[in-house]
């Protein structure tokens, strides 16, 4: 079980009935990631996806309203099947994803650490439901593609 969130953090977690290998692969494989990552109604276009420490991930979210939202991320740490840590440029936060065996599945935890508690509080109304939508989309992806080629 992970530690409770600090005042400047947003914590989201869910158990998926799939192996750590399968859940980790859904994030580490850009062909799969683009199929599920993002809130409901959003699609994405990846410009760069360098999945290694120091690597960059640049992509654009395309919102259901037709707006485009550029994103820039730098991977800080990757421990296969255990942890992915990245820094999101704007708004700045550090995302730590952990993958832990639980009840025959995998507990995926997202810990978003912001520079200030005020920024965390400001973004919670958007991030908390968006993270749950991401988890819903990941669950649907894993269920419909249990052994992605």
With respect to residue 4, please indicate whether it lies within any of the assigned structural domains.
Answer: no
CB-count exposure of residue 147 (10 Å: 0-12, 13-18, 19+): exposed
With respect to residue 2, please indicate whether it lies within any of the assigned structural domains.
Answer: no
140's tokens: 């649907």
- DSSP per position, 49-78: E--STT-EEEEEEE-TTS-EEEEEEEEEEE
With respect to residue 137, please indicate whether it lies within any of the assigned structural domains.
Answer: yes
Domain with 122 in it: 9-144
Provide, rounded to the nearest whole percent, the portion of the chain with pLDDT above 90: 90
Q: What is the pTM of this model?
A: 0.92
Closest CA to 61 of 35, 40, 38: 38
84's tokens: 């992915």
117's tokens: 């508690």
With respect to residue 149, please indicate whether it lies within any of the assigned structural domains.
Answer: no
Closest CA to 26 of 65, 74, 84, 103: 84
Task: CATH number of the domain at 122, please.
Answer: 3.30.530.20
| Number of domains composing the chain | 1
With respect to residue 92, please indicate whether it lies within any of the assigned structural domains.
Answer: yes
pLDDT reading at 4 higher than 90: no
Closest CA to 28 of 1, 9, 2, 55: 55
For residues 129-149, give the mean pLDDT. 88
- Quick: pLDDT tens for 60-111: 999 999 999 999 999 999 999 999 999 999 889 999 999 999 999 999 999 9
With respect to residue 53, please indicate whether it lies within any of the assigned structural domains.
Answer: yes
């Amino acid at each position: 079980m992970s530690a409770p969130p600090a005042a400047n953090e947003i914590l989201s977690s869910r158990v998926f009935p799939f192996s750590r290998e399968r859940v980790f692969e859904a994030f580490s494989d850009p062909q799969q990631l683009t199929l599920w990552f993002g809130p409901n109604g959003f699609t994405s276009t990846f410009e760069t996806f360098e999945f290694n420490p120091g690597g960059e991930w640049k992509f654009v979210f395309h919102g259901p309203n037709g707006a485009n939202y550029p994103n820039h991320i730098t991977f800080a740490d990757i421990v296969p099947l255990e942890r992915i840590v990245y820094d999101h440029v704007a708004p700045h936060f550090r995302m730590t994803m952990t993958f832990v065996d639980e009840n025959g599945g995998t507990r995926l935890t997202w810990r978003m650490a912001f520079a200030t508690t005020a920024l965390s509080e400001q973004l919670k109304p958007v991030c908390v439901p968006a993270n749950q939508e991401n988890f819903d989309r990941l669950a649907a992806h894993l269920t419909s593609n249990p052994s992605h080629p």
